Amino acid sequence: MVLLTGGLLTGCGESGSRAGTGTSSGSPSPSATPREIVCARIVAYWSRKVLDSDTYGDYQSMGLSNGQYEILRDVVDAARAEKKRNGAQAAERLIDRRARAGCEDWYRGGGPTAGPWQ
């Protein structure tokens, strides 16, 4: 009986592991999505929603900051003109490009920290 117990004890756990924690010491933590990419996704999403509308809506109900809302207005104005000239698919591509560029510029300049509610 002593041999059986001794055999069970030596087989438990690995040297250097963090048994019972559910984590291993070698796995990296997940990385966060860069804020300019999150901004571009949000702006592009709402730009598509308001593209065919007569209004832009309320930036607060969209969850946008004032700065993001300004980007959205620029994107939608350009997308409306592009849609008239070259169709819906061209407007879709323009939305993605303009939202990404606008958000990259905005965050390069400080983003929402540049002002009290920017």
- pLDDT tens, residue by residue, 48-95: 999 988 787 888 889 899 899 999 999 999 999 999 999 999 999 999
What CA–CA distances, in Å, run from 14 to 2, 9, 23, 79?
Answer: 22, 12, 13, 59
Residue 112 DSSP one-character state:
G
CA atoms within 13 A on the CB side of 117: 7
More confident residue, 115 or 97: 97
pLDDT per position as a tens digit, 12-37? 444 444 454 555 556 666 788 899 99
DSSP structure string for 40-85: HHHHHHHHHHHTTSSS---HHHHT--HHHHHHHHHHHHHHHHHHHH
Residue 32 DSSP one-character state:
P
